[in-house]
Amino acid sequence: MNGTALIYHKDYLLHDIPFHPERKERLIATLNYFEKTGVLKRVDIITPNIAEEKDILRVHSKNLLEKIKEISLKGRGSIDVDTLLNSHTYKVALLAAGGVILAADLVLRGEYKNSFALIRPPGHHATIEHAMGFCYFNNVAIAVNYLREVCNIKRVCIMDWDAHAANGTMDIFYKTRDVFNISIHQDPSFFYPGTGFIEQSGEGEGKGYTINIPMEEGASNNDYYCLLKEFVIPKIKEFNPEFIIISSGCDSHKDDNISSLCLNEEGYAVMSNLFVTLSEELCQGRLVIALEGGYNLEALVHSNYEIVRSLLGESEYGNKTKGDILNSTYNTLKKLQNIF
């Protein structure tokens, strides 16, 4: 078995919307830093194919697929003020979904210990019927349903640490008990997408299998570590997944102005280390980390660097942090423990 696969395609750069925060430079800067620091010599870069329409339709409606295709084929257009398209967007969105499918497939087949999908556009806001929030197709959800329906994986855990609640992923798996979907994010009371509250915990047979963890502004490494260590990881152990996929948004970084959260690259390293250890304990190390948000280039590249070092087993940070914890974090922990 090889070490870590880095999933990337040069065509991810073709979805290029001028002056948009979700820009091609996010990947260019990351790759340049990986080359500068020698990471590219320690991973295998694997080029994905586009996802097939049947892969998309395991998650999304035919109407959504056709809408994105139609607007893109016109050469330009928009879903909303944040979610714009050019002539390449449809193909690149398929390629992003294909990237996470490949990342999962390589790990499942035992060709690689784990993988990092350096993809764009992101996906976790895309619901069954709607594209939104820079997202067209829900890349991680598409990979999860590929694992479930094609590869016969019965239990998958999704962990999303983007600054924004994973409303699309929640929509897709809200009534499902075979996918344990966890999102830790800035309190959505006054923050996009305006959903992702603790009380939103699944429906029907999926009740209790969606967990939303809203964080107060200013929450930092220690707050995230507390909630992961004291609540999230024990719950994942109870679920006992066969595969873990992380939606990794780096816009929770203190230098990313899109949010008011205060993680830094050490925080991303510690969280990644926790999940590397957890995946080795529960599911033969089957772990995929896929890029979502992150818009300050320097913060993004340093966070991605620490995440990949964790996957490679090279992280210097270990799996814990030190420091004060917000009172709101203790309150959130108590509330979570009472509800779940």
Catalytic residues: 125
- Coarse DSSP helix, strand, coil percentages of the chain, rounded to the nearest 5 percent: 45, 15, 40
120 Cβ partners below 8 Å, 6+ apart? 12, 15, 22, 24, 26, 27, 92, 96, 291
Phi and psi torsions of 43, nearest 5°: -125, 165
Helices (H), 38-154: 53-57, 62-73, 89-108, 139-149
Residues 291, 122: contact at Cβ < 8 Å? yes
* Token reading at 279: 């995946």
Phi and psi torsions of 231, nearest 5°: -130, -55
Q: Which of 105, 124, 236, 244 is nearest to 172 (CA)?
A: 124
Residues 157, 147: contact at Cβ < 8 Å? no
- C-alpha angle 249/60/164, rounded to 5°? 20
- What torsion, rounded to 10 degrees, do the Cα atoms 22, 25, 26, 30 define? 170
Helices and strands in the chain: count of H runs, count of E runs: 11, 10
Other CB atoms within a 10 A radius of the CB of residue 280 amount to 14
How many alpha carbons lie under 13 Å from residue 229 in its C-beta half-sphere?
Answer: 16
